[in-house]
Chain A
Amino acid sequence: MATERRKPFAIKAQPGFGLVAMLCFFMLYLPIAILVVYAFNAGENIALWEGFSLRWFQSAWANETVQEAAMRSLFLASVSATIATIVAGMAAIATTRTAPYRGLTFKYAMINQPLMVPEIVTAVSLLIVFSRFKVWTGYSGIGYLVLAHTAFCIPFAYLPIRARLENMDLTLERAAADLYATPWQAFKRVTLPLLVPGLVAGYMLAFVISLDDVVITEFVKSGGQETLPTYMLGQLRRAVSPEINAIATVFLALSVLLVTLFYFVNRKKN
């Protein structure tokens, strides 16, 4: 009666994979955790823990440059994401649910192009062109940043809207037409309401992408047009003060919030 108790054979398991996964998550979160912890450190030394304090948040908040950069970042992200979502939404409607037509592939390529070009290349190309524009027009305002951000946000806004449209049941619009709705009425009463989750998702993606951008902004901005990321990049070259940790922590919290929201918007649509 040697009934040795053995674990049943697990079909899906692979030895050691769980360990690597744990290590991976540890790797992903350890640096972030350290960054956040030291944002709350009372001392100046980022290697020594000297007690809990919010002083770095306070000093960052009081820093006018930071305030201004933060406001500029938010402004840029909301304006660029809005424009990008509108034009990408229109483009998505125009490029989905159709038999292939001349120029469709061209449109796809154009819209997705910013995803395929390395950021640094886009950045220098915009530097070249916009520095010319600045000389010709004499205008060196935030418009260039808005234009640049809108352009690279378009594919990010486009993807979820397009996905939503493609999953949408074509017969719903047919049903609307069958029930006497003109094409415009069918769009307004059926397509648009069903598209809302896609539009929200697209807007949020575009917003996060714009908010995070550092390379392109760094090359396009005129003097005095720091955004939060370019400000941080500038600070990183100097002796780092925990104030940066505080800013990064707030930034991080904002990203987490947006991703969480995005996650739930996306889940609700199913």
Chain B
Amino acid sequence: MSDATRIAENARRADIRNRWWLTAPALFILFVAAIGPLLVVLLYSFMLKGDFGDVKYGQFSLDGWFSVFFERDIFDDTVGIAEAHVSILWRSVKLSLITTLLTLFIGFPTAYYISIQEPRRRDLLVFMVTIPFWTNILIRTFAMQEVVRNEGVINTLLVWSGIVDRPIQIMYTDWAIFFGMVYVYLPLMVLPLYASMEKIDFRLVEAGYDLYAGRFQVLRRVIIPLVKPGIVAGSILVFIPSLGAYVTPRVLGGGKNLMLGNLIDLQFGQGKNWPLGSALSITLLVIVTVALLFYVRNASKSGGGHGH
């Protein structure tokens, strides 16, 4: 009678084998051009830097990791904090956090407003958020440049109205980067927020009002807890790319106000310090992974509602 069991087991094995064959091409491409290179970066972060870029193969060294946070004085060889790196790291985290908060403050009411519209208008508004979302980040950064540059809209308006007599410098400052990032990542906040607001059961809101809650109390005690997964998702979706931002600070910061992404780039370019660049990359990756793990934990905690 084990015939049936045997046949079923064989069929299951064959099925799994087929499933591996079907996935093989994708896994191969991803190994060669995604995972594999990441492992190489990890390896490179532990090697001695080459004289003209690259690394000296087979020569193990912790210099790369050491110089992420510390630097040796050229004259007396004393060890000090690598202030440049630490301040860039700090700037990156700070700008990313502020960007996340501001996009949340703008994105939350926007997403909520969209979600309470009648279907046709709602679809149109979502579509209008989707368009910038899928528009090239470079183009959007460039568009922001048109706004903040000395001859740009803001300054033209300020000068024309007589508030200032000559343009204020926004371009190539942290402000420009900040404006640019909020602008570029705003859709990333609105879309996941909308996705969870769309599912709000408004009978719960009615129940809130029925039980004597005011507008603000309903918002704070009913709506916000209900859309918490969306808030977390949106925040993570904004925070992660902000932290690794490269294009926006490069264009709007003008090479002076660096963020982590540009610092990494620098090590592979002029800096010719690939181990340091690799170590910085891994550092960035670790921060991002921690943020993602936080998200996953949060999502699985609050995602209990949709069983199978």
Contact = CB atoms under 8 A, between A and B. Distances in A.
Contacts of B35: 110, 113
A28 B251 contact: no
A124 B140 contact: no
B29 A229 contact: no
Interface centre among A147, A208, A214 (most CB of B within 10 A): A214
Contact of B116 (A13, A16, A118): A13
Contacts of B38: 117, 121-122, 125
A17 B33 contact: no
B33 A32 contact: no
A2 interface: no
A109 B131 CA distance: 28
Interface of B: 15-16, 18-23, 25-27, 29-38, 40-41, 44, 54, 106-107, 109-110, 112-114, 116, 125, 127-132, 134-140, 142-147, 151-153, 156, 183, 186-187, 190, 202, 205-206, 209, 215, 219, 223, 240-241, 243-244, 246-247, 250-251, 260-261, 264-265, 268, 274, 277-278, 281, 284-285, 288-289, 292
A14 B156 CA distance: 35
B244 A21 contact: no
A14 to B, nearest CB: 6
The 10 tightest CB contacts between A and B, nearest first, are A118-B244, A125-B37, A31-B143, A151-B33, A94-B22, A21-B113, A47-B151, A20-B109, A17-B109, A94-B19
Interface string A216-237: 0001000000000100110010
A263 B156 CA distance: 38
Contact of B219 (A14, A18, A24, A46): A14
A252 B138 CA distance: 11
For chain A, what secondary structure do more than half of its interface residues adopt (helix, strand, loop), or is it mixed?
helix
A83 B252 CA distance: 35
Nearest to A45: B151
A23 interface: yes
A17 B54 CA distance: 53
A116 interface: yes
Contact of A24 (B140, B190, B288): B190
A93 B21 CA distance: 11
SS of B interface (majority)? helix
Given A17-B113, A21-B113, A47 B261 contact: no
A106 B106 CA distance: 37
Interface size class of A (residues with CB under 8 A): 35 or more
A117 B6 CA distance: 43
B189 to A, nearest CB: 10
Most buried by A among B38, B136, B186: B136
Contacts, number: 255
Nearest to A236: B251
Contacts of A263: 127, 130
Interface string A106-145: 0100110110111111111111110100000000000000
A25 B128 CA distance: 8
Interface in A16-71: 16-18, 20-21, 23-25, 27-32, 34-35, 38, 45-47
A118 B186 contact: no
Contact of B281 (A101, A124, A158): A124
Contacts of A123: 246
A28 B186 contact: yes
Contact of B32 (A95, A147, A233, A236): A147
A213 to B, nearest CB: 9
Given A18-B113, A113-B34, A214-B136, A119 B244 contact: yes
A243 to B, nearest CB: 12
19 contacts: A17-B112, A21-B113, A23-B106, A24-B106, A24-B107, A28-B132, A32-B135, A93-B22, A107-B23, A107-B27, A117-B34, A120-B284, A124-B41, A147-B29, A147-B32, A151-B32, A152-B33, A214-B137, A232-B142
